[in-house]
Amino acid sequence: AAMIYTESGFTPEAISPVGARGLMQIMPGTGAGIARDLGVADYNANMLFDPAINIRFGAFYIKGLLNDYGNDLDLALMGYNGGRGAANMWRDYRSVLPRETQGFVRKVKSVRDSYVKIYGADWPKNKPKKSAFEEDVKFFLYRVIFQR
């Protein structure tokens, strides 16, 4: 939710100046790669305006970044916003990140902290088993919003 708030202000039809689409502001080319990885047939960029698809794709993408960066939230958020190249440069050389990426990481974490104050940090423990899509969404919400 913190990423969605930061990326699109919960606006499913949001389009960024560079063409990122939907709630989690996924670039059409990134969406094509995610669709291929998830086995989604007949992908087209307009699918990214569907909230369920956009959240599924965004959760899958951030989960992959978290896995790739050893669950380092800052690096995963840098990769999500500025690309893996920017995250890798910062990790390897502590290079300067673009201001947009710096602001994105700060804002997502700040919004996440606000949600923790409101809802608590223990959610969603002891929930029943969900579908693969729901598991991706739960993972996204738990790791990005409620984990410190």
- Class for the domain spanning 2-146: mainly alpha
All structural domains of the chain with their residue ranges:
2-146
Mean pLDDT of 3-27: 97
Q: What is the DSSP letter of 50?
A: S
Q: Model's pTM, two decimal places?
A: 0.80
Q: For 37-84, how does the pLDDT look when each residue is reduced to its tens digit (9 = 90+)? A: 999 999 999 999 999 999 999 999 999 999 999 999 999 999 999 999
Q: Is the pLDDT of residue 9 over 80?
A: yes
Amino acid at 3: M
Spatial distance between the Cα atoms of 28 and 145, rounded to a whole number of angstroms: 25
> Which entry of 7, 100, 134, 135 is annotated as an active-site residue?
7
Active site residue 135: no
Q: What is the pLDDT of residue 46?
A: 98
SS3 letters for 80-126? HHHCHHHHHHHHHHCCCCCHHHHHHHHHHHHHHHHHHHHHCCCCCCC
